[in-house]
Structure 1
Amino acid sequence: MARPVWTGVLTFGLVTVPVALYTATEDHSVRFHQLQRDTSDRVRNKRVNERTGEEVPYEEIVKGYEMAEGEYVVIEPEELEQISPGRSKTIDISGFVDLDQVDPIFFDRTYYLGPRGPEYAKIYALLAKSLARSNRAGLAMFAMRGKEYLTAVRADRGLLELHTMHFAADVRDPEREVDALPGEDVKLSAQELETAEQLIGTLEVDWNPDDYHDTCAEQVRKLVEDKAAGREIVRSEGPPAEATNVVDLMDVLRRSLETAEGGKTKTEPATAGERQRARKPDRTPKAAAGTKTTSTKPTEAPTPAKKRVTAKNEDLDQLTKAELYQRAAELDVPHRSTMNRDQLQEAVQKGGRKRLRAAS
């Protein structure tokens, strides 16, 4: 069992329940050390006086706030400790807010809150069920590790969760930060909106967090393994994404909807770049060996035996992203609309192998 990072009491009104706080998430990012090239020598950071170039012991370092260029107000560690909020012993809920009123941008880190013992299970369950039924969260100020936090306590599946939150001053104004936001002058037709909503509905999925994983971290680990084993590193890069032409927006929406619904109709590529990269249409089947024909009309070829299609039979590297998406739709690959070209190619390869095993 994990050790709690904090223990204390949670209060609301005159109700008090002893609780323990546990870390809810962990970072699985790949970690690297810094080395000097062509050696195995570690490179480490040192605290150095920028004027003398000499290393400064940690106990001689103080904090300075720059008032003007080169002018500092020096703050001693003891002075910071005197005004530090210290460590809270209580999470005192001052009020309850409807969760639908809280923009997700305000949530930061998540912790689990558990009862400190089985004797507190009833009070804990009472608060958890009440919060879940009312769709509310308790708001409280809370100090931990020398820092004060605004927190929200909510319930999920019988478990209390504590979310640290950003203060209003920490959230940037999107109107100042984001250029070219659409204004009231942008006109959308009812047909465009209806088709886009149909496309969204067709691509609707049930939320299952296990369906998603950090593919970048997996690729980094594979790169490390391949280099350690002396294997050749091959990177298949697809063509860069091109913005949808606004003039063709309705046509692109219709064809996206057809693809999402598994339509088999061959359509023209969405952009000029895709049209240039698109493969030539299939030619008329050649006559059987040993026979000749001068007819300009295609002859009806005998129905060939079904050919097993595997990743080896197809040169997927030559397909455009749109063509890979069509293959993924035919294989009913989940979440294909969120994949880049490399992910689509990998998914099509896996889907082809699964279909081959099922046919066998």
Structure 2
Amino acid sequence: MARPVWTGVLSFGLVSIPIALYTATDSHTIHFHQLQRGTSDRIRNKRINERTGEPVELEEIVKGFDTGEEYVLVEPKELDEIVPGRSKTIEISGFVDLDTVDPIFFDKTYYLGPKGKEYAKVYGLLEQALEESNRAGIATFVMRGREYLVALKAEKELLAVHTLHWSDEIRDPHQEIPDLPQTGRASASKLKMAHQLIDALAIDWQPEDYRDVYQEQVAALITAKQAGETVEKAEPAPKATGAVDLMEALRASVERARSPKDTGAKAGTSTTSTKDAGRKPPAKKRTGSSRTSRSASLRSLTKAELYEKASKAGIRGRSGMSHDELADTLTRARSD
């Protein structure tokens, strides 16, 4: 059972519910120790007094604000004392239409639960009301010495708290990005072709189809180095499409996405359409050599071409597969 990261009271109107916040997500990050090159010696960070060079214990450290002329010292408990109520209460100031909250404001998610079975009915009532009204409660509260702006919303029969960025934390993209288009619109033909490509590549959102491939590759690298083996290098990034080639690139992309045949067919490779995938094979027996040939043929394709085949074959989890994993999965699928 997970331990709450914060406990307090949820308040809206004259209603108050004792609640607890729980972390909603985990991280895949693989953690490394820092070592001195050529040795197994750990590198550690220490709190050092810059004047004396001596280490300082954590309990001896206070916060200091630099005014330019002197430091104003603040004890940790003084920060809690200035907001005693706000560090224990999530007070909803109002309810907004959830669709009006721009996704850029959302930061981290916490699950919110009632602190005691006797509060379950009130908790359930608020969850159901928010679900049916498609609204979110906006509130502020203090946790770990920091004030948060949050949105409380219904989520799969429970309440979730999403921390929000403050409005002045959102950067203006027109000031941050130098090469945004300033004037003019795309031509009707290019826009139509772009719509066709988007429609041709439309998929259903299945989050379980995606996985953290990078972390898997890092783990594989560690295992390979431990065994004295080498790991295949990743494919280089695709070249940028120039403005002159844009229309042709769009047209070719649409044709490839819509085509029921493998892209390798144009080079003389025998292919099988998606329509034939579920049919019985011809009388000619399949041999181990034919499967090997098929695998080699697939491995000669680019990752984009393999992904297209996997999409047409309905292979789940394809978005997180490497080039070789796609080729192997397609080979097995065709042999079944």
TM-score using structure 1 length: 0.77
The one-letter amino acid paired with 1:162 is: V
Pairing of 1:19-38 with structure 2 (within 5 A): 19-38=19-38
Report the Cα offset of residue 261 of structure 1: 2.2
Q: Secondary structure at the match of 1:93?
A: strand
Instruction: Give CA-to-partner distance per residue, 1:108-133, whole Å, 9 cap, x none.
Output: 11111112233322222221111111
Q: Alignment partner for residue 220 of structure 2, among 218, 222, 229?
A: 222
In structure 1, the partner of 2:128 is 129
- Identity among equivalent pairs (%): 50
**Residues 256-311 of structure 1: per-residue CA shift (max 9 Å, x gap):** 122222443859xxxxxxxxxxx99449xxxxxxxxxxxxxxxxxxx987664348
Size of the aligned set, in residue pairs, is: 320
Question: Using the alignment, how far apart are the partners of 1:335 and 1:193 within structure 2?
Answer: 31
| Distance in 1, Cα, partners of 2:266 & 2:10 | 68
**Within 2, Cα distance between the matches of 1:190 and 1:346?**
39
Aligned-residue offset at 1:320: 3.7
Distance 1:265 1:37 in 2: 48
1:249 aligns with 2:228: no
Which stretch shows the higher mean deviation, 347-356 or 154-163?
347-356
The offset of 1:90, in angstroms, is 2.4
The alignment status of 1:45 with 2:45, answered yes or no, reads: yes
Which deviates more from structure 2 when the two are superposed, residues 306-315 or residues 161-170? Answer: 306-315
In the other structure, the counterpart of 1:298 is none
2-structure distance, mates of 1:335, 1:246: 33
- Distance in 1 of aligned mates of 2:333 and 2:228: 27
Deviations 1:165-189 (A, max 9, x none): 111111111111111111222x312
Aligned counterpart in structure 1 of residue 229 of structure 2, from 222, 227, 232: 232
Of 276, 300, 314, 2:296 maps to: 314
Larger radius of gyration: 1
Q: Label 1:95 to 1:83 Cα distance change in 2 as closer, same or farther (>3 A).
A: same
Q: Which residue of 2 aligns with 1:300?
A: none
The AA in structure 2 aligned to 1:260 is A
Mean CA deviation greater in 189-198 or 175-184: 189-198
For the pair 1:165 / 2:164, whether they are aligned, the reply is yes
Provide TM-score, normalisation by structure 2: 0.82
Please give the root-mean-square deviation of Cα atoms over the aligned residues, in Å: 3.1
Which residue number in structure 2 is paired with residue 76 of structure 1? 74
Mind listing any 5+ residue stretches in structure 1 that lack a counterpart? 268-278, 284-302
* 2: CA distance, partners of 1:236 / 1:26: 28
Matched, 1:260 2:288: no
4+ residue stretches of structure 1 with deviation over 6 A? Answer: none
1:178-217 correspondence runs (5 A): 178-185=177-184, 187-217=185-215
Measured at CA, do residues 306 and 188 of structure 1 come closer, stay the same or move farther in structure 2, by a change above 3 Å? farther
Find the counterpart in structure 1 of residue 119 from structure 2: 120
Where do 5+ consecutive residues of structure 2 fail to align? Answer: 270-282
C-alpha deviation, 1:312, in angstroms: 7.7
CA 1:90–1:256 in structure 2 vs 1: closer, same or farther (change >3 Å)?
Answer: same
Matched residues in 2 for 1:122 and 1:79: separation? Answer: 36
Aligned-partner Cα distance in 2 for 1:212–1:203: 16
Question: Per-residue displacement from partner, 1:50-88 (whole Å, max 9, x unpaired)?
Answer: 4554434445544343444xx442323268436643463
